[in-house]
């Protein structure tokens, strides 16, 4: 099934190629390398260039001056597995069924590496995967790697000082030496060095699991850069969360700065090898975290606040000289990333991809442009299960959210960047609320999402939740036969 789909994809690309060539100069369709750096739970505000008064991220601050900055990028569903599935497929969680953690991304879904591979790219994946649904320490077998050939990865771990992984075809588990972001960066640098002069371009995906908790495991010298009493908390963190937030932020920022060092070594190697002349580089995250804001505990995400849904998104590309440091305020959403990268690489966008091609905003960044980005959570889970499911939209200025009970959030993020004044029901904003509600309806219609209760999606995708924890029972399998029974079967 998968091979047939890839062959059909290659045929479609060949058919579309004359059109692509007629619309672009030859140098614009030369296939660039792609280096995609994805971090985990790194909130958009926690960077020096984003205005955080505490964190030290000199390498990424410098990169922001050399890239296009999508200042209002959002995660389509702010939790690990759904974001990654949407990123690799260009499709929404309600279309793929990937709306919870620890689900298996179906084989029939056409994914990023398969598309690039079909037109001659070498493909490589390093780090956290979290799309296999067969247990977090289980080997993601080659047939389930969705088109990535070079492989040093694990389904999921946050043991940063003893991080496990599987090495290509070797079924024996291995462990990265030292702090995993540094080890992953070193392997990425080795891969780039080995393939810098290859005739065929490469897609290198570097998936770093920091600064996701546990925060205390950050290297000590980096934690010491952030004395508890010196930390400045956001104004939307209530007093009762002051002490706990400071304790967690110390390690969180420690991870951020250490990870900045690791990413800085990758960015330096790109320049050292001369790859910046023909390479698209992306730095982003899968989602943020609440960290005490609005009285929501550290570690929490999933909800429609900016602390959770907003992520950083920096992208550089060959010939960027005139646009270095440019800012785009129109939000880019997770499903938009794949079609945009394909377009920038001169590759036809397959039918079925639901995201919008925003290559025009990368190449001609305009801070005044606006658009609607759809964010969702059809079924909050684990400790967030008590919160209602929602659909929301983010524009460059506004956040609007709706639950099954009706409108729930309306913020003007320009005048209220910490989202402390909910405008729902305010008569002065009644017309704006209606306009945004209409835009939300339109966004849902575009992907055929009727915004049903959570049980509808659980039943549709045959997902069973552990009633004691309201989380997916992904560890259920037949030990005698060694066959994992995923929740999608």
Q: Which of 16, 23, 83, 130 is catalytic?
A: 130
Tell me, yes or no, if 130 is annotated catalytic: yes
Retrieve residue 434's tokens: 């209606």
Q: Are 236 and 418 in contact (CB under 8 A)?
A: yes
Q: Report how far residue 75's alpha carbon sits from residue 375's, in angstroms, rounded to the nearest whole number.
A: 7
Tell me, yes or no, if 294 is annotated catalytic: no
Q: How far is CA 299 from the centre of its chain?
A: 17
Retrieve residue 23's tokens: 């619309």
Which residues of 67-149 form beta strands (DSSP E)? 68-70, 122-128
Nearest CA-CA partner of 188 in 124, 141, 274, 261? 124
Relative orientation angle of helices 334-344 and 80-89, to the nearest 10 degrees: 30
Retrieve residue 162's tokens: 């003893």
Retrieve residue 480's tokens: 């005698």
Q: Is 168 left (phi over 0), alpha (psi -120 to 50) or beta?
A: left
Reduce the DSSP state of residue 306 to 3 states and report it: helix
Q: Report how far residue 180's alpha carbon sits from residue 165's, in angstroms, rounded to the nearest whole number.
A: 10
Q: Report how far residue 145's alpha carbon sits from residue 373's, in angstroms, rounded to the nearest whole number.
A: 29
Angle at 264 between CA 228 and CA 306, to 5 degrees: 55
| Structure-token match 């790109």, residue found | 270
Contacts of 462 (CB under 8 A, 6+ apart): 487, 488, 489
Q: Report how far residue 213's alpha carbon sits from residue 308's, in angstroms, rounded to the nearest whole number.
A: 14
Contacts of 177 (CB under 8 A, 6+ apart): 183
Q: How far is CA 96 from the centre of its chain?
A: 16
Q: Is 482 left (phi over 0), alpha (psi -120 to 50) or beta?
A: left
Burial 194-228 (b: 16+ CB within 10 A, else e): ebbeeeebbbbbbbbbbbbbebebbbeebbebbee
DSSP string covering 264-277: HHHHHHHHHTTGGG
Retrieve residue 405's tokens: 């009970």
Q: Are 307 and 340 in contact (CB under 8 A)?
A: no
Radius of gyration of the chain measured on its C-alpha atoms? 21
Which residues are known catalytic residues? 80, 130
């Amino acid at each position: 099934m998968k091979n047939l789909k890839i062959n059909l994809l290659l045929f479609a690309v060949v058919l579309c190629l004359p059109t692509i060539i007629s619309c672009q100069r030859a140098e614009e369709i030369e296939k660039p390398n792609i280096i995609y750096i994805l971090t985990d739970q790194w909130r958009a505000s926690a960077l020096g260039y984003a205005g955080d008064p505490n964190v030290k991220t000199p390498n990424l601050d410098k990169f922001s001056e050399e890239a296009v900055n999508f200042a209002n990028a959002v995660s389509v569903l702010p939790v690990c597995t759904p974001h990654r599935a949407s990123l690799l497929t260009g499709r929404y969680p309600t279309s793929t069924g990937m709306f919870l953690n620890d689900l298996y991304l179906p084989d029939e879904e056409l994914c990023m590496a398969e598309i690039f591979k079909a037109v001659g790219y070498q493909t490589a994946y390093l780090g956290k995967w979290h799309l296999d649904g067969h247990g977090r320490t289980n080997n993601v077998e080659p047939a389930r790697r969705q088109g990535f050939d070079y492989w040093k990865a694990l389904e999921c771990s946050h043991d940063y000082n003893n991080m496990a992984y599987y090495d290509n075809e070797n079924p024996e588990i291995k462990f990265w030496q030292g702090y995993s972001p540094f080890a992953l960066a070193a392997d990425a640098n080795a891969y780039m060095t080995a393939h810098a002069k290859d005739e065929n371009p490469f897609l290198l995906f570097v998936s770093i699991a920091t600064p996701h908790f546990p925060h205390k495991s950050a290297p000590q010298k980096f934690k010491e850069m952030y004395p508890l009493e010196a930390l400045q908390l956001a104004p939307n963190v209530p007093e009762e969360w002051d002490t706990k937030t400071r304790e967690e932020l110390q390690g969180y920022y420690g991870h951020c700065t250490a990870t900045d060092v690791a990413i800085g070594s990758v960015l330096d190697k790109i320049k050292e090898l001369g790859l910046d002349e023909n390479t698209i580089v992306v730095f982003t995250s899968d989602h943020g975290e609440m960290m005490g804001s609005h009285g929501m505990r550290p570690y929490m995400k999933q909800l429609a606040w900016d602390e959770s849904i907003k992520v950083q998104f920096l992208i550089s590309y060959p010939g960027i000289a005139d646009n270095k440091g440019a800012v785009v305020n129109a939000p880019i959403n997770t499903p938009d990333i794949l079609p945009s990268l394909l377009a920038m690489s001169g590759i036809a966008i397959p039918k079925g991809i639901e995201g919008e091609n925003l290559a025009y905003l990368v190449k001609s960044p305009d801070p005044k442009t606006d658009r609607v980005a759809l964010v969702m959570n059809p079924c909050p889970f684990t400790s967030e299960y008590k919160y209602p499911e929602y659909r929301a939209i983010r524009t460059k200025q506004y956040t609007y959210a709706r639950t099954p009970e009706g409108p729930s959030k309306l913020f003007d993020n320009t005048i209220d960047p910490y989202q402390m004044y909910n405008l729902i029901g305010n008569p002065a904003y009644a017309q704006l609320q209606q306009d945004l509600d209409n835009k939300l309806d339109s966004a849902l219609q575009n992907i055929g999402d009727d915004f049903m209760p959570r049980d509808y999606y659980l039943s549709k995708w045959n997902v069973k939740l552990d009633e004691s924890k309201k989380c997916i029972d992904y560890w259920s399998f037949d030990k005698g036969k060694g066959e994992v029974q995923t929740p999608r079967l």
